[in-house]
Amino acid sequence: MRRERAGRVTWFKANKVIDGAPDGVHGPSVIAVRDGTIEGVWPVAQWDGAAARCAETPSRMIDCSRLTALPGLVDAHVHITSVSFEDVFPRLPGADIESFGKTGYLDHISDEMVLLAAVRNAAELLRAGVTTVRDCGARGETPFALREGIARGWIKGPRLLISGPPITQTGGHGYFFGGEADGPEGTRKLARTLIKKGVDFLKVMATGGLATPTTNPGRASYSAPELRAVVEEAHKADLKVAAHILATEGIMTALEAGIDTFEHVWFIEPDRSSRFNPDLVKRMVDQDVVCSPTIAAAEVGRLTALKEKVRRGVATAAEAELAAWIERQLRHNLEHLIQMHEMGLRIINGTDAMGGYIPFDDYAVTLEMMVKGGLSALDAILMSTREPAKVLGVNAGVLQPGYLADIIFVDGDPLNDISSIRRVRKVFREGELLYEA
C-alpha cells in the first residue's frame, strides 16, 4: 500500500476525537501520524509545543477542524464477494429471498464478475467508514484475490480477513459456496485444506439459514464432534472459528465444541419462533464467547418495501407474512442484544452485508438500532471499533499512540446524534486517504 514519505508526520486537526477507549472523548485535538501509525494525540491548545518538538521533521497538516474523528469502523461479518439477484437478472427486480436459494442464480455468473462485484462492494464499505472487514463466506478463489489486491494497494478497500468457503454439511446453509463436508473426518479435512490455502479464520454453518430454503434455521446442522474437529484444527494453527448460528440448538452444540465467535444468535426454535435463553447466554459468558449478533440482517430496508406493499394492498399473502416475520425478528434481535450486553457477553458489530439484501454502505443502521434500543452511543461505537479490532487481532480500532492510523472523519457529533455516523467525509487506513466525500 502506498504510504506517505517515510518519517514524515501528518497532523490531523479535528473538532472532537472519540478515540475508542471507554473514557476517550476529547475536544478540539490534533492527531499525529507517522509511517501509518498514530504517534500522539494532543489538545489543540498543547499542539504548538508538540509541533515545535517536531520542527525538524517534514510534516503536513490535514484540517478537519469542523469534523469529529473516530477509529475506522470494523464490520465483523460481511460477504464481500456476494452478487445480488438483481445484478444477475436485472429484469426480475424485487425477487424474494426464497428465490436466492432455489434458482441457483450464482451459477449464472463467473468468478471474474464476482471479483468485480467485490471491488464495488469494497468501495461501498469505505464510503460507510469501514476500514476492516471480516468476510464470513465466499466462493472459490475470489476472496483470496481480493485480499491480495487490497493489501498490495491495487484496489481501494478495507483491510480484509477471509474464511474462504464456509464449512457446511451436504446441502447445508451456504452449500453453493462450495464448502460441503460431513462427519468429523470430513470437516477436519476441509478445515486443513482451508488452512493450507491461507485463510485468516474458519467459518462453519452450525445451523440452517434463511438464504438456503432447503434448510431449517431453527435446527442444528452439525453435531458437536463435527464442529470440534474444525475447532481443533483451527486452534492448532492459531486461528479462530466463527459459526453461523440462528437456532438455539446450534448454540448448545457450538458451546460444547468450543467455537470462538457466535454469529447471529437469534434463538430461533424449529417452528421459527424466537425465545431468549439466559442460561445459554451465561454459559457463553463463562466460556468467553464473543457474539456478532448482526441485528439488522433481518433486512431493515426490505421490510420498508414490503410494508409499503402491504399498505397499498398489493402484497401477496406470502409477502405480508414475511413482512410480519421480519418486523418481529428485528425487534427480538435488538432486545436480545441488549439483554446479552447487560449479562456481560462480549459483543462485536457486524452487518451480514451481502449483495442486494443487506447494503454494504449502510453500516450506520446497526448503531442507530443499538442506541434506539437503549445502548449509549459510546457503547455502540466501541462495539464497532475497539472491541471487534481486538477480537479479530487487528492493531486498530483505537486512536492512541502505537495503533494503526485507521481514522474516519464525520460531520457532526455521534455521541449526541448517532446518525452522524452516516455523514462520513474522509476515510484513512494506515494514514492513507482512501475515500473523501
**Tell me, what's the pLDDT at 303?**
75
Q: What is the CA radius of gyration of the chain?
A: 22
pLDDT, mean of each 10-residue run, the chain (437 residues): 65 96 92 95 79 62 96 97 68 49 61 91 97 95 96 97 98 94 98 98 96 91 98 98 98 98 96 94 98 84 77 86 85 95 98 83 94 96 98 98 98 98 98 97
CB neighbour list of residue 313: distance below 8 Å, 6 or more residues apart:
none
Whole-number Å distance between alpha carbons of 57 and 16: 26
13 three-class SS: strand
pLDDT at position 109 is 79
Please state whether beta strands 432-436 and 424-429 pair in parallel, antiparallel, or not at all (unpaired).
antiparallel
DSSP string, 137-190: ---TTHHHHHHHHHHHTSS---EEEE--SPBB-TT-TTGGGS-B--HHHHHHHH
Amino acid at 59: S
| Lookup: cell for 313 | 394492498
Selection from 72, 70, 60 nearest residue 7 by Cα: 60
Q: φ and ψ at 212, to 5 degrees?
A: -125, 85
> Residue with C-alpha cell 438500532?
369
* Alpha-carbon distance values, 397 to 19, 180, 202, 229, 390 (Å): 8, 34, 22, 32, 8
Residue with cell 472487514: 133
Please state the CATH superfamily assignment of the domain spanning residues 73-390 in this structure.
Answer: Metal-dependent hydrolases (3.20.20.140)
Q: How far apart are CA 207 and CA 116, in angstroms?
A: 30
Residues facing 63 on adjacent strands: 13
C-alpha cell at 240: 479462530
What does the alpha-carbon distance between residue 90 and residue 101 come to, in Å, rounded to a whole number?
17
3-state SS assignment for residue 57: coil
Residues paired with 76 in a beta bridge: none
CA pair distance 129, 320, nearest whole angstrom: 34
Domain coordinates in residue numbering, the chain: 9-71+398-436, 73-390
**What confidence score (pLDDT) does residue 2 get?**
47
Residues 6+ apart with CB under 8 A from 342: none
The closest of 194, 186, 195, 254 to 220, measured between CA atoms, is 254
CA 415 to chain centre: 21
pLDDT for residue 285? 98
Fill in the DSSP letter of residue 218: T
pLDDT of residue 60: 86
Please state the pTM of the whole predicted model. 0.92
C-alpha cell at 186: 470430513
Cα-Cα-Cα-Cα torsion 186, 146, 172, 340, nearest 10 degrees, comes to: 100
Which CATH topology does 9-71+398-436 take? Urease, subunit C; domain 1 (2.30.40)
